[in-house]
Amino acid sequence: MRTLDAGADKPLAFADLGPEENPALGKRGLRLSALRPELLDTQLAALGAAAKATTADVKVMAPMVASTEEAAWFARRVREHGLPSVGVMIEVPGAALLANHVLAEVDFGSLGTNDLAQYTMAADRMEGTLSDLLDPWQPAVLQVIGHACRGARVAGKPIGVCGEAGGDPLLALVLAGLGVGSLSMAPSKVTAVRYALSLHDLATCQGMARSALDAPTATAAREAVLGQAHEDLLAVL
């Protein structure tokens, strides 16, 4: 479960903190929870009660974490409510660059590729004319993801991906090569992604990842990976 990710492009009347000059860089996600801790406590109390009443493996993560201090604060609040598994969204480049320290405070990380692309490329995800900059194949975005994955390995914590990137069969191979351990996607995309992964071993995925990271453009990155893909995958892409 992700705690409330209100603000910016997801405004909620009951969590409105007033007008902001730049909402995407303002009091959203975990920052809102820090300013309105009663909202966070209500969510965590409900999740704690649900966890006790069921056999579900409840995991809780926070959006918009930017620093090690924020990760530690959130982890403490979650565990105070009897929830043992706590994670953070890695969708701010600062958190990705310090992933070894940020993830040392929690149990897992989840890469929010939509916002991570927005903040890495300084391109508003609500601005359609900037869609090329928000392409998850952008080598700069992939390099930030790779850095976060290396940090996760240092911290000894699992890291996954949520967002549109996980549902792209070709990009899923690159993400696996970078060190991503789990992918979240729409149910309709699971079959194609599973098929792509079944055709390639980890060493091949790692080679694809290196090629994508070394590419100068998003188009070149995708073309480089296409050139290494199994012919059976190429037939269905």
**Tens digit of each residue's pLDDT, the chain (237 residues):** 999 988 667 777 887 778 888 888 888 899 999 999 999 999 999 999 999 999 999 999 999 999 999 999 999 999 999 999 999 999 999 999 999 999 999 999 999 999 999 999 999 988 889 999 999 999 999 999 999 999 999 999 999 999 789 999 999 999 999 999 999 999 999 999 999 999 999 999 999 999 999 999 999 999 999 999 999 999 999
Residue 5 forms part of a structural domain = no
Strand partners, 89: 110
Count H helices, E strands: the chain?
12, 5
**How many domains does the structure of the chain reveal?**
1
Residue 195 forms part of a structural domain = yes
Whose structure tokens read 């100068």? 216
pLDDT score, position 185: 95
Q: In the sheet where 182-183 sits, what is the strand order?
A: 59-62, 85-90, 108-112, 159-162, 182-183
SS3 at position 66: coil
Asked if residue 43 lies in contact with residue 3, where contact means CB atoms within 8 angstroms, the answer is yes
Q: What is the pTM of this model?
A: 0.94
Residue 3 forms part of a structural domain = no
Q: What CATH number is attached to the domain comprising 196?
A: 3.20.20.60
Distances in whole angstroms, Cα of residue 101 to Cα of each of 39, 63, 234: 27, 17, 39
Residue 30 forms part of a structural domain = no
Burial track 130-146 (b if 16+ CB lie within 10 A, e otherwise)? eeebbbbbbbebbbbbb
Residue 184 forms part of a structural domain = yes
SS3 at position 130: helix
Backbone phi and psi for residue 29, each to the nearest 5 degrees, phi listed first: 60, -130
What residues make up the domain containing 168? 57-234
DSSP state of 140: H
CA 107 to chain centre: 15
pLDDT score, position 51: 93
Residue 39 forms part of a structural domain = no
Residue 20 forms part of a structural domain = no
Write the CB contacts of 29 (distance below 8 Å, at least 6 apart in sequence): 4, 5, 6, 7, 62, 63, 64, 65, 89
Residue 27 forms part of a structural domain = no
